[in-house]
Amino acid sequence: MITIIAIDASTIACSVALLYGYNNNYSIIGCYEIINKKQMYKIIPMVNILLYKAGINIKKIDCIAYGKGPGSFTGIKIASSIAQGLALGVDCPLFAISTLEAIALNAWHKYNVKYIISIINNTLNQVLFLSLFKINNKFILPLPIISKNIFFLKNKKECFFLKKILDNLIKKNFFFMGSGLYILNTIKINTSIINMIDINCEPDAAYIVRIAAKLFLSGSFNKLSFLEKLPCYLYI
């Protein structure tokens, strides 16, 4: 039996998911709440609720995963600290999963699209983070089409560069997903011609746990570099 817990608090959403089952016949249950603050008081109760529902002892957990960002400094610190504490207590592997990958997998699951641009932004500091993905048979492949994926929108040169990139990607029929889409109007992108799927989408542990399961089953944990396990903070 495989049992994996995933935690995410990288944005205004707070979520925990539990994957468990045998031989590719897995069940996923989760808790998801838009909360913005006080995630530290929500995560452990969510973990306990899911373990109780599944009838699983926490000592039977095979690995823990958390959303490493990009996202809120405070939220990622909370999620990573709790995940590290649980992994240390259970003595199991810890996975740090990109929230942008989780958004892309969400798009594939819900809308059956293969080419996705995941976008997260910080409206306070005008920072936008985006990544391009192709999903083929549930495998998430990052596409190195653009030379950079973080943009500081207070800088006019970066806004111009971002607009040029997005204008080109729109012509290639990429699908856009994520709450960062709200900020595109500020750089005069014609959003009416964009293939926007869900502008309210936030990272969800239910998709982080799916990615972690693939990594765990493939034995990829030992192949991850130190840098790949580090959090990625967007809100400074």
| Chain segment 99-149, per-residue pLDDT in tens | 999 999 999 999 999 899 999 887 666 788 889 999 887 688 888 888 788
* Four-way CATH pick for 112-198: 1.10.3860, 3.30.420, 2.40.160, 3.40.390: 3.30.420
Residue 72 banded pLDDT, cuts 50, 70, 90: confident
User: Do residues 33 and 15 touch, judged by C-beta distance below 8 A?
Assistant: yes
Q: Where along the chain do its domains lie?
A: 2-99+202-235, 112-198
| CATH code, residues 2-99+202-235 | 3.30.420.40
Convert the pLDDT of each residue in 178-211 to its tens digit: 988 777 777 777 667 678 888 889 999 999 999 9
Percent of the chain with pLDDT over 90: 45
How would you class 84 by CB atoms within 10 Å of its CB: exposed for 0-12, middle for 13-18, buried for 19 or more? middle
The domains spanning 2-99+202-235 and 112-198 adopt the same CATH topology: yes
Q: Which two tokens stand for residue 86?
A: 């649980």
Paired tokens of 2? 């495989």
98 class by beta-carbon count within 10 Å (0-12 exposed, 13-18 middle, 19+ buried): buried
Distances (CA, A) of 93 to 59, 86, 105, 230: 13, 10, 22, 14
Q: How many angstroms separate the CA atoms of 209 and 195, rounded?
A: 27
Q: Which amino acid is at 51?
A: L
- Can you give the pTM of this predicted structure? 0.90
Which is more confidently placed, 127 or 42? Answer: 42
